[in-house]
Structure 1
Amino acid sequence: MALVAEFDIDCDALPLVTVAAAVPAATIVLDLQFNHGDRPLFLATVTDGSDTAIETALTEAPDVREWAQIGQAGTTRRYQLVPALSFEEQLGDHVDDLRGLEALATAEAYIERIEVTVDGWRQTGWFATRETFAEFSTFWRENAGFRLHRLSRVGEPESSGEGLTDCQQEALRTAYERGYFEIPRQASLEDVAAELGISASSVSERLRRAQTQLIQETVATTWPPLPERGRVPPARPNGRD
């Protein structure tokens, strides 16, 4: 079953991170044009932030050789950027496993959205299998930083959350997708903890709190009160239990 994931890759060597850091008020969404050899053209859609500040940051960015504004609508501008570096040149000093990076380009996955942040990239992607996503997330955990925000099966409706915190939702989704709730279990607390980058005890606490919250907000509201402890409920008129 295919999965959709939203996650952060924390690596300040990724393209245009210096631009996002220079103009934090701007939202920068990046498209890569892979039909241009080892240096794919960038199409950057920028919303908000000062025009002058953005264009100054693009001019000074070490990974942008040249840029041109190709459209504008209100506070949204679109730029075509010619990179100054290949991905290998850009990430070579920061990512130890360059062969693994090249392998990601042929994985059964599609990155639908890239938002450039001050720390790296926030991506939304489609992954053919759980194993494909595990390989992708493992690579970035070992070579940079990786934080999962959302993981769901394709076509699965989004949960309203029922009052859960973001961390609790993340723990529940990850445990569910890894098979922690299956019978028999396909993953341990330690497996879920490794996926989230926290301790097993923290995962256990988040799952317990999330389950308690869901019970309180759903089925618990329909339950009749239990009899007081120490009191025997009155017998029914027909004498049956």
Structure 2
Amino acid sequence: MVVIVRGTVPSSEFALRHTLEAVPNVEVEIERIVSTSEHSAMPLSWVRGGEREATATALENDPSVEDATLLADFDDEWLYRMEWVDHVKFILQMVTGADATVLDAYGSGDRWMLRAMYPDRDALSAVDEFRADHGLTFDVESVRRLDGDPSGRFGLTAGQYEALTTAAERGFFEVPRGITLQELAEELGISHQALSERIRRGTDALIDDTLLIKPPP
């Protein structure tokens, strides 16, 4: 059974500790991580919030970074392809040892927040054993099973998933709307208020699960 885990890791045990300490307000958001070997990983990383030259210098001097190549410069944020080395034991064990997929990772200050998908509970247990054996920290905030229902992939209840997908299919989110809330509620066989709550709570859960891996401002 596939599981999705959300949790936090101290930056001192993960990656870019030097950069996060050296540049005030810098934020790093990982778009994708691939392993290049059992000793290194290569993430695509959005870096923002810091002063441009100070950030580049900090990355150059960061012991967890073997190489940082600037791919795109958008004035106030920059896309880097980095190579992380042995310092990043935890993430390497997740990716190479447990076949986990890192869905989101956000680093700021003294910690990283991440969301990872494991192929099964055994893989999660193996990573937890590795963490304990090496004295590493991973504070788990939530564990969610994917039981075949597509709603679980995004943290939705079955009712919220049905409400949102049906609303989208019937043009509820279009401008102008293709269907009213009352008409949609009647089609789903629930009250106007129940549908309104499902759409609002489902939208909130969807945004939280897909966009807000980092804490909201």
Q: Please give the range of the TM-score, normalised by the shorter of the 2 chains.
A: 0.5 to 0.7
SS of alignment partner, residue 97 of structure 2: coil
Partners of 1:17 and 1:116 within 8 A in 2: no
Residues of 1 paired with 2:129 and 2:39: CA distance?
24
* Aligned equivalent of 1:129: 120
Higher strand share: 2
Residues of 2 paired with 1:21 and 1:149: CA distance?
24
TM-score, normalising length from structure 1? 0.50
C-alpha displacement at 1:24, in angstroms? 4.3
Residues of 1 paired with 2:117 and 2:66: CA distance?
31
TM-score, normalising length from structure 2? 0.55
Deviates more, 1:51-60 or 1:103-112: 103-112
Give matches, 1:170-185, under 5 Å.
none
In structure 2, give the amino acid aligned to 1:145: T
SS of alignment partner, residue 8 of structure 1: strand
In structure 2, runs of 5+ residues without a counterpart are 158-217
Residues of 2 paired with 1:37 and 1:91: CA distance?
11
Q: Does 1:119 align with 2:110?
A: yes
Residues of 1 paired with 2:138 and 2:66: CA distance?
28
* Aligned equivalent of 1:79: 80
Partners of 2:131 and 2:138 within 8 A in 1: yes
C-alpha displacement at 1:34, in angstroms? 2.2
- Structure of higher CA gyration radius: 1
C-alpha change, 1:26 and 1:132, in structure 2 (3 Å) is same
Partners of 1:140 and 1:146 within 8 A in 2: yes
Residues of 1 paired with 2:94 and 2:16: CA distance?
22
Aligned residues: 149
In structure 2, give the amino acid aligned to 1:34: S
SS of alignment partner, residue 12 of structure 2: coil
RMSD between aligned residues = 3.2
C-alpha change, 1:36 and 1:135, in structure 2 (3 Å) is closer
* Aligned equivalent of 1:58: 59
Q: CA offsets per residue over residues 185-209 of structure 1, 9 Å max, x none?
A: xxxxxxxxxxxxxxxxxxxxxxxxx
In structure 1, runs of 5+ residues without a counterpart are 96-100, 161-241
Q: CA offsets per residue over residues 151-182 of structure 1, 9 Å max, x none?
A: 2223326479xxxxxxxxxxxxxxxxxxxxxx
* Aligned equivalent of 2:49: 48
- Give percent identity, aligned residues only: 16
C-alpha change, 1:151 and 1:26, in structure 2 (3 Å) is same
